[in-house]
A = this chain, B = another copy of it.
Amino acid sequence: MLQFKKTLLGGIAPLLLSIALASPVIASDAHHHAHGKDHNFGAFNKDNVLLTPRGYREWVFVGAPVTPNELNDGKAAFPEFHNVYIDPTSWNHWKKTGEFRDGTVIVKELVSVGSKSAPSGNGYFAGEFNGIAAMVKDSKRFPNRPGNWAFFGFESYEAKEGAIQADEACAACHKDNAAQDMVFTQYYPVLRAAKPKK
């Protein structure tokens, strides 16, 4: 866990965020999709390390659990909202099959708690972006990882690529506790509702 946090959080330059997110990912993917050509959203270096995802805030939102410090004795593993997204091609596959395809990219963006009170009541309201992590399913690139999922942390939003995480850092917990194929679908009604009824 410590290792994970260490690689995940790093120097962040919010000024670059809007640039990083400016690429019209929905438009280009859906355009391809409309012509019958799905594509993979994960891009890798020659060592199968995931390049830093871009444009994921335009992917399909999955869920946003929040685990604040004060509910975890001041030592939350992830003291933020976790905004979780799935890439559009894999979302389309999920809607058809209820399975995560080879090539699925799921991004978790960490967002600080910015406010605990608002006109709508007391609770938790998002503040600022704190970093991202990602998991990728790929049986060819990651044949020996549990479920063929590899987990990546990112030093910063400006990092060129991620750092692959040891199985103990992420995969072990996902494998033991996630409801379907290493993904915590039990906390993601968006995924459950879109899953085909068999």
Contacts and interface: CB of A to CB of B under 8 A. Distances in A.
Listed residue (A30, A66, A71) with the most chain B CB atoms within 10 angstroms of its CB? A30
Nearest to A84: B61
B63 A60 contact: no
A175 to B, nearest CB: 11
A53 to B, nearest CB: 15
B64 A187 contact: no
Contacts of A15: 197
Interface stretch (A21-29, A43-51, A144-152, A159-167): A21-29
Contacts of A67: 118, 120-123
Given A27-B34, A30-B26, A34-B31, A85 B114 contact: no
A120 B77 contact: yes
A177 interface: yes
Contact of A193 (B17, B28, B30, B193): B17
**Interface footprint category on A:** 35 or more
B111 A57 contact: no
A81 interface: yes
A88 interface: yes
Interface in A109-124: 111, 114-115, 118-124
A126 interface: yes
A91 to B, nearest CB: 8
Interface string A62-96: 01111110011000111001110100100110010
29 contacts: A14-B193, A18-B196, A21-B193, A29-B30, A31-B31, A31-B34, A34-B34, A57-B60, A57-B193, A58-B91, A61-B83, A61-B85, A64-B81, A64-B126, A65-B124, A67-B118, A67-B122, A67-B123, A72-B121, A76-B121, A77-B120, A111-B189, A115-B186, A118-B177, A118-B184, A119-B173, A126-B187, A126-B188, A127-B189
